[in-house]
Amino acid sequence: MGSRRECTRILGLEGYRVEQLEWEAESSRARIRIWIERRGIRGYQCSGCGRRTWRLRDAKVRTWEDLPWAAHRVTLVYAQRRVRCRTCGIRTERVGFADGHARITRRLRQLIGLDCQSMPTSHAAVRHGVSWSKARRAEKAFLTDWDQARPRRRPRHLGADEIHRGKRQKFYTVLSDLVHGEVMGLAPERTEESLAGLLTTCLDARQRAAVEAVCTDMHRPYANAVAQALPQATIVYDKFHVLQHAGAALDEVRRPEFFRAGPVMRQFGRGKRWLLLRRWNTVRGSKRAELCALFAANRRLFKAYILREHVDQLWTYKTRNGVATCLWNWLKALRWQRLPEMEKLGDTLVTHFDGIAAFCDHPVRFGVVESLNTTIKGVIRRGRGMKDETMLLLKLKWATARPIRSSKDLAKFLYSDVHSNR
């Protein structure tokens, strides 16, 4: 056994020295219990207010899991004092190497939390020799710390969207920062209250004042919530949601055509639904020929398809007048076609014209909205659903903010100074 001084140096906890090492068993992978004691102290710190005092009440021996020494797991043992604080009364002493009620040291927590971002919690738990719940708690503390230390940004464009969750609780409302592509908040349900609550709690007054536009789908309660919480912000309707409506209208045209059609036509139309819903420039080769054959057999479908193809031209204009002209031409092409489903779509486009044309003044990045949705669904699926909403939000923030983009970032998380008191 080396000298106690060397052990103290290896352990490397500022303000503590090693008193004694204790092997729990004789095997080559036995756990080491390291008894530590304070050194060079100027009083004990109250865990409530942080003030130092010498007035002690008693001490209780507690243990913390720490980083391993080679193949040996390490448990730190320390007689934690209870102090009589002038303002807080009787409190436990604050220790520099661990969080308040944590049973693992802060540097081990950092490592587990970081591992959990790239492997399942159960694997990280085995890797570091702790239980699953301990690993999960460590992960949560790690993510909370990271989230609180981040600067609060003031995005110009926000996104509000719903995420389908499952059978019992149907939806989540997700608030995101579309400039930086990050999730900002999460609330259950998709009501006016849930979005209004998010806009007031996730954003402070300065952040709210900086918002110029909010990108939402054509869901009425969201528009109301934005008008209420951010009166100066413009609503921009999400292009992909509008196109979804167009696709649904096309599908509505298709359905009766085939129910009404004779056996020959039905032969043509079988299994063509997804082909029909695809955009023309993504269809290639023999599939294109199939689509042409279908259109040759049914002109109504052809017209509806062409109209659907032209909807996304609404977003190619730089001025409101341009958008208005485009929509007018679209409606003109619809006349005398006897396509009630498409006419309904036309009505929708007209009533939501302001939100569609607002894109000219506020070019929101629609691609970010889509990529965020994909990431969110990925996180939920990987966790097989998640009961803890705070944890889910933290996970989403981490996944979308992607704080580790280089080896330097990783090193910052691995070797950051987490031993000091905050």
CB of 53 to Zn ion, least distance (A): 8
Q: How far apart are CA 225 and CA 413, in angstroms?
A: 38
Q: How far is the CB of 372 from Zn ion (least distance, A)?
A: 43
In whole angstroms, the minimum distance from the beta carbon of 95 to Zn ion comes to 15
For Zn ion, the closer of residues 39 and 55 by Cβ is: 55
Compare residues 85 and 364 and give the one whose CB is closer to Zn ion: 85
Smaller CB distance to Zn ion: residue 48 or 197?
Answer: 48
- Name 313's Cβ contacts closer than 8 Å, sequence gap at least 6: 326
Closer Cβ to Zn ion, 85 or 112, answer by number: 85
18 burial class (0-12, 13-18, 19+ CB within 10 angstroms)? buried
| Complete DSSP assignment for 100-146 | SS-SB-HHHHHHHHHHHTTS-HHHHHHHTT--HHHHHHHHHHHHHHH
Query: Which of 28, 87 has the CB closer to Zn ion?
Result: 87
Q: Measured between alpha carbons, how far is 361 from 279 in angstroms, rounded to an integer?
A: 27
Closest distance of CB 100 from Zn ion, Å: 13
* Residue 192, SS3 per DSSP: helix
Q: Which is nearer to Zn ion, 85 or 369 (CB)?
A: 85
CB of 419 to Zn ion, least distance (A): 22
Rounded Cα–Cα distance for residues 292 and 411 (Å): 57
Residue 59 C-beta: closest distance to Zn ion, Å: 17
From the CB of 61, what's the least distance to Zn ion, in Å? Answer: 22
Q: How far is the CB of 51 from Zn ion (least distance, A)?
A: 5
- Which tokens belong to 333? 């092409």
> Residue 256 has which token pair?
């009766």
Amino acid at 185: G
3-class DSSP assignment, residue 320:
helix
Contact assessment for residue 89 and residue 55, using Cβ atoms and an 8 Å cutoff: no
The token pair at 268 is 């043509």
The residues binding Zn ion (CB under 5 A) are 46, 48-49, 85, 87-88
Report the residue count for the chain.
422
Residue holding tokens 């023309």? 280
- Quick one: which of 179, 163, 233, 188 has its CA closest to 400? 179
Nearer to Zn ion, 87 or 406 (CB): 87
For residue 145, the minimal CB distance to Zn ion (Å) is 22
Token pair of 139 as six digits: 């992960």
193 and 407 in contact (C-beta within 8 Å)? no
The C-alpha atoms of residue 18 and residue 104 are separated, in whole angstroms, by 18
Nearer to Zn ion, 44 or 146 (CB): 44
Give the residues across from 158 on adjacent strands.
177, 214
Residue number with CB closer to Zn ion (46 or 203): 46
Instruction: Give the contacts of 403 (CB within 8 A, at least 6 positions apart).
Output: 146, 409, 413
Amino acid identity at 346: G
Nearest to Zn ion of 85, 396 (CB atom): 85
| Residue 294, both tokens | 């279908």
Of 48 and 247, CB closest to Zn ion? 48
Least distance (Å) between residue 104 CB and Zn ion: 24
Containing 389, the helix (H) or strand (E) segment is: helix 389-401
**Closest distance to Zn ion from the beta carbon of 94 (Å):** 9
Upper half-sphere CA count for residue 411 (Cβ side, 13 Å): 3
Q: Can you tell me which residue has the tokens 């639904």? A: 273
